[in-house]
A and B are shown apart, each in its own frame.
Chain A
Amino acid sequence: MELSHQLLQYLLSGLSTGAIYALIGIGFSIIYNATGIINFAQGEFVMLGGMMTLFLLEALHLPLWAAVPLAVCIVTLVGLGFERLAIRPLRNASPISLVIITIGGAILIRGLAMLIWDKDTHAIPPFSGDEPIMLAGATLLPQHLWILGITVVLISLNKWFFNHTISGKAMRACSYNPRAAGLVGVDVRRMVLLSFMISAAMGSLAGIIVAPLTMTAYDVGIMLGLKGFCAAIIGGMSSGLSTVIGGLILGVLESMGAGLISSGYKDAIAFIILLLILFIRPQGLFGKPESERV
Chain B
Amino acid sequence: MLELKGITQIFGGVTALKDVSFSVNQGEITGVIGPNGAGKTTLFNIATGIYSQTSGQVIFEGRDISGLPAERLARLGMVRTFQNIELFGKMTVLENVMVGLHSRSSSGLFACSFKMPWAVREEQRIRDEAHQWLQFVGIDDLAQLEANNLPFGRGRLLEIARAMACNPRMILMDEPAAGLNSQETLGLAELIRRIRDRGITVVLVEHDMELVMDICDRIVVLNLGQKLTEGTPREIQDNPEVIAAYLGDDD
Seen from chain A, the residues whose Cβ lies within 8 Å of a Cβ on chain B are 161, 164-170, 172-173, 176-177, 179-188, 190, 194, 293-294
Contacts and interface: CB of A to CB of B under 8 A. Distances in A.
Interface of B: 69-71, 74-75, 79-80, 82, 84, 86-91, 95-96, 98-105, 107, 109, 112-113, 119-120, 122-123, 126, 148, 162-163, 165-166
A181 B89 CA distance: 12
A161 B113 contact: yes
A185 B103 contact: yes
Nearest to A168: B112
B102 A184 contact: yes
Contacts, number: 101
Contact of B71 (A166, A187, A194, A293): A187
Nearest to B148: A293
Nearest to B120: A164
Contacts of B87: 176-177, 180
B91 A166 contact: no
A184 B79 contact: yes
A173 B70 CA distance: 15
Among A172, A180, A186, max chain B CB count under 10 A is at A180
B91 A185 contact: no
Given A166-B107, A183-B163, 18 more contacts: A165-B119, A167-B109, A169-B99, A170-B102, A172-B91, A173-B91, A173-B95, A180-B82, A180-B86, A180-B87, A182-B70, A182-B71, A184-B162, A185-B74, A186-B103, A190-B109, A293-B89, A294-B84
Contact of B102 (A177, A186, A294): A186
Contacts of B95: 169, 172-173
Q: Which 8 residue pairs are nearest across A and B when measured between Cβ atoms?
A: A185-B103, A185-B74, A180-B86, A182-B70, A176-B88, A173-B99, A184-B100, A170-B102
A180 B102 CA distance: 13
Contact of B91 (A165, A169, A183, A194): A169
